[in-house]
Structure 1
């Protein structure tokens, strides 16, 4: 079994009810490039944060994949950005409901005071190439902690874990 995922990553099957029909073998697991391609090529993503009272908050955003992480940004007064200031955990989902990629991680706020100029320039360059605009700051870096993906569910349902969950 080969995979081009970053080091220290576990690739396996998601755990769920047996009635879902997810195979027990590793045959048919997706390659990491499926995740990177989806985040590099898709234009709209759904970000889910948590309201202070625990309710989920989902919003569509633009975003780019740079240096092995997803970057997106929003206005300081938007609900989802205020949610991240309180609790930086989030999920990012591609727009498709059939070619699915779901990334879970922790948002790290980047701006001129927290990131070097070269990193911010690479993010802006990626935004300009994809959307025709430069995003500016603040922007949030989401490094994957856990990713789920499939395009032929249940046969290719794949999970990557980047920590000990």
Structure 2
């Protein structure tokens, strides 16, 4: 069970993560130890983050070397709010593309677009990334940013 800190309780964090269709930023380490940040689609499912990417992605290779990650899911427009934290990633094949299909439907509102068809192509080997959060910190600057123009 992760530790929840910051502005929101666990229920509020989960509501934000279920509602927000913004990507997650995952920070990991390359094999030489230097940091690496990748932005991917996610769904918050059973208390963790699920993502999918091609088996050949650098992120998969880096996570196989070091599964410890940090993450950030936050708005880019005023008022700024979101969650960040750390945890451990596990990898497994998304053979039937269950996670990828859920992500395509979440972010593209269906599977009828050219991008959706390309992503769901049978020739692509997908990996399911699951991040089990250890610590989740939330922040919400809505009150202090009231009346601020976000243009």
Scaled by the length of structure 1, what TM-score is found?
0.62
Structure 2 CA distance for partners of 1:9 and 1:74, relative to 1, 3 Å: closer
Note if 1:130 corresponds to 2:106: yes
5+ long unaligned stretches in structure 1: 1-7, 14-28, 156-165
8 Å contact kept, 2:22–2:75: no
Partner Cα distance (1:108, 1:130) in 2: 22
Which of residues 87, 100, 104 in structure 1 aligns to 2:66? Answer: 87
Note if 1:144 corresponds to 2:133: yes
Q: Which has the higher contact order (CA 8 A, sep 6+)?
A: 2
Structure 2 CA distance for partners of 1:140 and 1:152, relative to 1, 3 Å: same
Question: Hey, which bits of structure 1, 4+ residues long, moved more than 4 A?
Answer: 8-13, 133-136
Structure 2 CA distance for partners of 1:103 and 1:126, relative to 1, 3 Å: farther
Question: Which residue is equivalent to 2:46?
Answer: 67
Identify the range of structure 1 (144-153 vs 98-107) with the bigger mean alpha-carbon deviation. 144-153
Aligned residues: 126
C-alpha RMSD over aligned residues: 2.9
Structure 2 CA distance for partners of 1:12 and 1:58, relative to 1, 3 Å: closer
Partner Cα distance (1:63, 1:11) in 2: 19
8 Å contact kept, 2:24–2:40: yes
